[in-house]
Amino acid sequence: MIEKPLTSGDVDFVTTLHGEERISFVVLMQPRGDQADVLLRAIDDLAMGELKEAVREGEEPEGKNARQPAELALEVSLEALRRAGSEAVGQVIEDHPLDKLKSVVDEAEADEVIVLTAPHYVEEFFHRDWASRARHKVGVPVLKLFAHSE
């Protein structure tokens, strides 16, 4: 599960987690949420000392307007994984992402889930981040990794 395009560092990291073992990915792209998330993201930006990012949070597309950027981010990410030699398919998910994640894990008989995200300090503190919530839902190990930025 990702929330922004994978960087080359992200791709290198996730494709080498299991050594030389060939890995296939089912990537679920979670677009940015609604306006209620803006405050939490701004607090996270401030906690990381990124004042300019906190100010720009209100400028980012939200809800339905975030669908097209999410689709593009997904395509870029899938292509990067394929270029690295992995099989990769994916989809943008908006409604009930944890339910969708659970069904994908079951259908693909996944060995693990990787949640690749930026730090979300407030949500993590209260265990409301995607990785914490997924651990109670999917029935396989959930690995939380922090995304690289380029």
> For 92-116, how does the pLDDT look when each residue is reduced to its tens digit (9 = 90+)?
997 788 899 999 999 999 999 998 8
**Which DSSP symbol is given to 127?**
T
For the segment 63-89, what is each residue's pLDDT rounded down to a tens digit?
A: 666 688 889 999 999 999 999 999 999
| CB-based contact 57:42 (threshold 8 Å) | yes
- The pLDDT value recorded for residue 147 is 78
- The pLDDT value recorded for residue 150 is 56
Question: Which amino acid, residue 36?
Answer: A
Q: Which residues contact 72 (CB under 8 A, 6 or more apart)?
A: 5
CA contacts within 13 A on the Cβ side of 94:
13
The pTM score is 0.76
Angle (CA) 127 117 131, round 5°? 35
Residues pairing with 27 in the sheet: 90
- The pLDDT value recorded for residue 125 is 60
**What is the residue whose two structure tokens read 């979670």?**
30
The more confidently predicted of residues 125 and 14 is: 14
